[in-house]
């Protein structure tokens, strides 16, 4: 059984298509989606349509919550909140009422069992859509923040746009990185892969090429607010 976890598409349908093609070529059996579907990319509607066409389990990320109700004080630095809400309003304007209702109703976690292996997946932490847990946190911090809410063998999250895998006390913690806006300096889309077969478990991070210059062109074509900064992130894979 091959399971892909994708997340943080952020309206980058070009990268999402590349990842979905890679998943198909790898003959992956199941896809789970860990949130942040539309906001901050040039193609929010098409990205959401691609995700919904998968007919799979999707959970909510902080950016999905922002599309629904806006960015609030205390959730981002005060100096950027106005601009981020301009971007949010632009994204909101490209979606239909049914899309907003879909985002609003998304659950916040996935708990599944595959061939006896229990998996707990969420966007940022089990208790928050917004908390940031980076890969340099010590083992105790990772366990208390990310691995205490469910009795699972594998814990999967996203949100930070930096993929990694850690093994703690016989369990696996995986961050799947970002499809649309990687922040780790590697200008390739990222997703997590779990393979379970006859009691054997394998986890890996997959990196996929996509046409970054086409995405940058789209930011300009659609007159996206804050296009220059977002184009720089796409081109350099850094904030």
Q: What is the mean pLDDT of each run of 10 residues along the chain (239 residues)?
A: 98 98 97 98 98 98 98 97 98 98 98 94 98 96 92 97 96 98 98 92 97 98 98 97
Q: CA 47, 90, 185: angle at the middle one, nearest 5?
A: 60
Q: Which residue from 202, 132, 129, 210 is spatially nearest to 165, judged by alpha carbons? A: 202
Q: Residues 162, 175: contact at Cβ < 8 Å?
A: yes
Can you give the pTM of this predicted structure? 0.97
- The pLDDT value given to residue 150: 79
Alpha-carbon distance of 96 to 51, in angstroms, equals 15
- The pLDDT value given to residue 199: 77
Helix residue ranges, H only, 26-179: 44-52, 62-69, 78-93, 97-104, 139-146
- The pLDDT value given to residue 148: 87
The full set of domain ranges for the chain reads 2-236
List the CATH code of the domain at 2-236.
3.60.21.10
DSSP the chain: -EEEEE---TT-HHHHHHHHHHHHHTT-SEEEE-S--STTSS-HHHHHHHHHTT-S-B---HHHHHHHH---TTSS-HHHHHHHHHHHHHHHHTS-HHHHHHHHT--SEEEEEETTEEEEEESSBTTBSS----TTS-HHHHHHHHSSSS--SEEEE-SSS--EEEEETTEEEEE---SS---SS--SEEEEEEEEETTEEEEEEEEE---HHHHHHHHHHTT-TTHHHHHHHHHHT--
Q: Residues 5, 179: contact at Cβ < 8 Å?
A: no
């Amino acid at each position: 059984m091959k399971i892909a976890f994708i997340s943080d598409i952020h309206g980058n349908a070009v990268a999402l298509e590349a990842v979905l093609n890679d998943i198909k070529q790898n003959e992956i059996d199941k896809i789970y989606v860990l949130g942040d579907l539309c906001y901050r990319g040039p193609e929010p509607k098409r990205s959401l349509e691609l995700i919904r066409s998968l007919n799979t389990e999707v959970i909510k990320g902080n950016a999905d919550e922002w599309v629904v109700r806006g960015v609030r004080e205390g959730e981002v630095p005060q100096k950027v909140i106005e601009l981020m809400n301009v971007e949010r309003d632009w994204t909101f304007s490209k979606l239909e009422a049914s899309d907003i209702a879909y985002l609003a109703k998304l659950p916040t976690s996935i708990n599944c069992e595959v061939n006896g292996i229990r998996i707990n997946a969420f966007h940022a932490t089990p208790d928050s859509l917004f908390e940031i847990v980076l890969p340099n946190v010590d083992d105790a911090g990772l366990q208390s923040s990310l691995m205490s809410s469910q009795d699972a063998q594998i814990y999967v999250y996203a949100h930070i746009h930096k993929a990694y895998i850690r093994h703690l006390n016989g369990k696996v913690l995986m961050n799947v990185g970002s499809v649309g806006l990687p922040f780790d300096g590697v200008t390739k889309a990222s997703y997590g892969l779990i393979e379970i077969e006859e009691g054997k478990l394998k986890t890996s991070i997959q990196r996929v090429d996509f046409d970054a210059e086409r995405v940058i062109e789209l930011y300009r074509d659609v007159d996206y607010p804050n296009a220059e900064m977002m184009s720089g992130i796409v081109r350099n894979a850094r904030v």
